[in-house]
Structure 1
């Protein structure tokens, strides 16, 4: 099984797919889950699992829950786990699309490497990830050591610290590190 390139199901459907569970766990491990708005490492108001409250569609997505956007931004209202998961699955769908667009061999990669590329797309966005030209070339050539080296030779790697270290290890080996495996999911599945 691999990461599906089209997330049109329900959150319950996603919970039945061990690869999507692993992807969600990995991103949540790297971003953390926060019910109340906070400032991220770049001083951007954020909520949930890395949901940027300054992005163009943020107000609409928050208000679609029946919440007051300004109160969420001002830390007066907390999001529920279901609301956080809803935002996350939407953002993961975008990140999967972005990774698939940047890596023409995405569907040929094993799930562990797909998860890392989606995590990077989630964290960086398509535009910034597209700047990793040598890493992209290495992934397309399936040169995992070079792909890992190119990840390490970046500002991103220096900024994200342990996230980068974990992602580099997975890119190099093709196996999810223990920190990226939710309970009940074995590395043999991914």
Structure 2
């Protein structure tokens, strides 16, 4: 048996014993757990794992915005980054509730889009982040 075969068989064995959970749950010992028995309370995740999840989330958010926002790929890099950052924070369903901002973006009125960003409950919640993103939207 090769090391690769050993590892694959062990993975299958552990999945069989621990199960594969894609959302956090409390294990029988009351510990917050995810994946295949990953104890988040005691072990957390590594920086490498966090960065891998971040890159995956950025990619998913970018693809969602490419589909949801007409002309997204034609916007300046700074405007795309601002929208990705905002959507990353809010999630796509809440982001799409910014109808006035999206209407302004659709007609290329980025000043009004920035104003719509700042006149929201979200802006009050995130403070400086909203100011930064609105500036990126306005200035491109």
Q: CA deviation at 1:67?
A: 5.6
How far, CA to CA, are the matches of 2:67 and 2:37 in structure 1?
33
Q: Which has the higher contact order (CA 8 A, sep 6+)?
A: 1
Larger fraction in helix: 2
Match of 1:166 among 95, 112, 132: 132
For the aligned residue pairs, the C-alpha RMSD in angstroms reads 1.9
Instruction: State TM-score, norm by structure 2.
Output: 0.73
Corresponding position of 1:149: 115
1:58 CA drift (Å): 3.3
Structure 1, gaps ≥5 residues long: 1-55, 175-190
Q: Is the 8 A contact 1:138 1:144 kept in 2?
A: yes
Q: Superposed, which structure 2 residues align to 1:1-20 within 5 Å?
A: none
What is the total number of aligned residue pairs between the two structures? Answer: 112
The one of 115, 119, 125 aligned to 2:85:
119
Maintained 8 Å contact 1:102/1:136: no
What do the CA deviations read for 1:26-66 (whole angstroms, capped 9, x no partner)? xxxxxxxxxxxxxxxxxxxxxxxxxxxxxx9334xx52xx6
SS in 1 for 2:108: coil
Q: 2:53 aligns with which of 87, 91, 110?
A: 87
| Aligned residue number for residue 30 of structure 2 | none
Q: TM-score, normalised by structure 1?
A: 0.55
Whole-angstrom CA distance in 1 between matches of 2:79 and 2:22: 29
